[in-house]
Amino acid sequence: MTYQPAALSDYLNTLPKLPAWVTSTRPETLETVAFRSGAALSVLDQLVSDPKHGVPVKLLANRLALKAATATSKLEGRMAREADIRDAYHLTPAGEARGPDGDLLGFWREAVRLRFIARDCRSALKELVGLHIEADMDGWLEDGAARAKSHGPLAGCIAVMRAVLEADDRAERIAGLLSDIVVARSLGWPSFLPIAAQPLTKAMLRDLVAEEQGAELAVQRRVLESIEDAIHLARDLSSKSTALRAVAPKLRAKGSEAAVALFLSEDAVAPSTMLSPRVQGTTIPMTGRAARRFCDRLVELGVARELTGRPTFRLYGIVR
């Protein structure tokens, strides 16, 4: 028995969604982008801040981290595919080098784990951005926050993005990270979601730094589109996680509750390392065979799928 699509459709109707006027026409001025982005960010804030909507925020952050890694790989000139980046991170044996693709996803996954109220947040953030950026980081974030207060979160986001790239035109991932932090702080979030870097191109960023006519409007439009995509993803993950929770009582394997929790936080789960010999983050044991059977059972129930298409070295995740 699988979770019925009709039930998912009914559930989606209960979640906050974008008003039609936000996406009905293309914003033509910075003022209209600011107005529409305010509405879009309000919807996203409702989805991720109110537990009643059931959005698995850790899973959302990790999935957006993978998207951000894929986008910044293109900006940095490597053009790695999403699947290759995911595999490089999740399938590299512990202690071995993950390579640039795996390290890039590692950068974004470490970033989304930052908690702004944590004592070590500032030092952890400085470690992520590197020595050549950390000296100016606080000033850029303060300027971005001030710009966000006076002109809206996207204006603050773009101000920081431009400042970072003026200092180092190869620091696209840092520009995206600090820009997203400005947006998150303006909304009062305890952490951030990777949004800003995803829809951008190298040419758009060059024009932004050069202050070409229309460049800021073009970048803000694309970031607005990325916010809209994040809303659609949050709504989708909410319904899919509800489906997983609904079938959880059918899973009688030892450790199934902890394994379900892992699927609700991780974009990709490797049964051989993340479920066995112990469920990741717990002391609950699970044999390799039990882990594979558990994942196959989720696939049978229609709430998960195998991500790689390979007979070995498999990864599983919530249905996409």
We report the CATH number of the domain holding residue 267 as 1.10.10
Contact present, 25 and 33 (Cβ < 8 Å): no
For residue 202, being part of any structural domain is answered with: yes
Judgement on whether residues 225 and 271 belong to the same structural domain of the protein? no
Q: Are residues 225 and 256 in the same domain?
A: no
Q: Is 125 domain-assigned?
A: yes
Q: Is 266 found in the same domain as 144?
A: no
Q: What single letter denotes the amino acid at residue 209? A: V
Is 2 within a domain? no
Same domain, 277 and 177: no
pLDDT at residue number 19: 86
Both 178 and 290 in a single domain? no
Residues 174 and 261 in one domain: no
Q: Are residues 145 and 185 in the same domain?
A: yes
Residue-wise pLDDT tens for the chain (320 aa)? 455 555 556 666 789 998 888 877 777 899 999 999 999 999 999 999 999 999 999 999 999 999 999 999 999 999 899 999 999 999 998 889 999 999 999 999 999 999 999 999 999 999 999 988 999 999 999 999 999 999 999 999 999 999 999 999 999 999 999 999 999 999 999 999 999 988 899 999 999 999 999 999 999 999 999 999 999 999 999 999 999 999 999 898 889 999 999 999 999 999 999 999 999 999 999 999 999 999 999 999 999 999 999 888 899 999 87
Based on the domain organization, do 227 and 273 belong to the same domain? no
What is the domain count for the chain?
A: 2
pLDDT at 28: 85
pLDDT at res. 32: 92
**Residue after which a domain boundary falls, among 207, 233, 259:** 233
Is the CB of residue 66 less than 8 Å from the CB of residue 267? yes
Of 204, 233, 262, at which residue does a domain stop? Answer: 233
> Model-level pTM?
0.94
175's CB contacts (< 8 A; 6+ apart) are 160, 161, 164, 165, 196, 197, 205
d(CA 231, CA 17): 7
CA distance 60 to 63: 5
**Do 85 and 162 belong together in one domain?**
yes
Give burial (CB, 10 Å; 0-12/13-18/19+) of 1: exposed
Residue 48 has a CB neighbour count (10 Å cut-off) of 22
- For residue 10, tell me if it sits in a domain: no
Residue-range definition of the domain harbouring residue 171: 27-233
Q: Which of 233, 265, 295 is the last residue of a domain?
A: 233
Query: Do 61 and 208 fall within a single domain?
Result: yes
* CA geometry: angle 45, 236, 85, nearest 5 deg: 95
pLDDT at 133: 92
Task: Tell whether 109 and 142 lie within a shared domain.
Answer: yes
Q: In the prediction, which pLDDT does 21 show?
A: 85
